[in-house]
Amino acid sequence: MTSDAHTHTGHPEIIKRLRRADGHLRSVIQMLEQDRPCLDIAQQLLAVEKAIVQAKKALIHDHIDHCLDAIAEPLAKGDRAQIDEFKLIAKYL
């Protein structure tokens, strides 16, 4: 496999999500250092958690799409139905 095989179209968006999560996490650390209210810290931690979960989902979905498209490319359109259905149902993960 070449390095291009691992370059997915969604990576720039995932990087943005992770940078936001990094910013939120840095905020949490500062909040703890400043003895901010636990409720505020918990809310910020929830934002970190959600950002990371969404980044993980985006990465997995992008990988599935990228890899399945590479496999399905040589197939006739009618033979791609199961792959297309799998890609659709994977969106519910």
> Is there a contact between 41 and 49 (Cβ–Cβ < 8 Å)?
no
Residue 58 and residue 10 in contact, taking contact as beta carbons nearer than 8 Å: yes
Half-sphere exposure of 35 (CA within 13 A, CB side): 0
| pLDDT tens, residue by residue, 42-72 | 999 999 999 999 999 999 888 888 888 777 7
- In terms of pTM, does the model score above 0.75? no
The residues spanned by each domain of the chain are 9-90
CATH architecture of 9-90: Up-down Bundle (1.20)
Q: At which residue do the structure tokens 């149902």 appear?
A: 89
Average pLDDT over residues 71-80: 78
Query: How many angstroms separate the CA atoms of 82 and 67, rounded?
Result: 14
The alpha carbon of 59 is separated from its chain's Cα centroid by a whole number of angstroms, namely 4
Question: What's the pLDDT at 5?
Answer: 55
